[in-house]
Amino acid sequence: MSNSRRREIISLLKKHKEAITGTVLAEMLGVSRQVIVQDIAVLRAQGTQIIATSNGYTLPQSVHANRLIKTLISKHEGFEQMEEELMMIIEYGGKVIDVIVEHPVYGEIVGNLHLTTVDDVQKFMEKVRSTNAKPLASLTEGEHIHTIEIPSEKVFNLLVLELKEKGYIQ
């Protein structure tokens, strides 16, 4: 039974473009959320790449043709600046794949974001604010790296110019 449920989890994640929470998966499959968490752990141990985001589980999406993967090294503080930075990336047609901080003890810490729309950013920020969660960048005095997917080098350069104007990157 558990193997067929795990195959069904993969099938559901493939069908949905957006992340699905463990609670929703549990309801769909008639089990507890804890069973889903355990199934996800087993699937990952077996080599299935499943990404856990703040909005639930998803499978890695391939990069669209003619789009680039770039990194931005940024520094800012506070929820307003965080939201502004994320919105700028989205408004330039980008996708925010993750946020990375270099911790002096733990090394690289990665938070999967997978934000592609204004609505994604708004939901993410609402969750951050409602849970009083501290951004990963608070561990490094505001310094962080974003991996982004962006339409072209030209668009990336325009985004970088605006981020520099705001003082978020040097």
CATH 3.30.1340.20 domain range(s) in the chain: 68-165
Token readout for 38 is: 């355990």
* Domain 2-58: top CATH class: mainly alpha
Tens digits of per-residue pLDDT, 60-100?
776 566 778 899 999 998 899 999 999 999 999 999 999 99
CATH 1.10.10.10 domain range(s) in the chain: 2-58
The model's pTM: 0.73
* CATH number of the structural domain 68-165: 3.30.1340.20
DSSP E strand boundaries for the chain: 51-53, 56-58, 68-75, 95-103, 107-115, 143-150
Exposed/middle/buried for residue 60 (C-beta within 10 Å: 0-12, 13-18, 19+): exposed
Tens digits of per-residue pLDDT, 107-123?
889 998 989 999 999 99
Tens digits of per-residue pLDDT, 132-164?
888 888 899 999 999 999 999 999 999 999 999
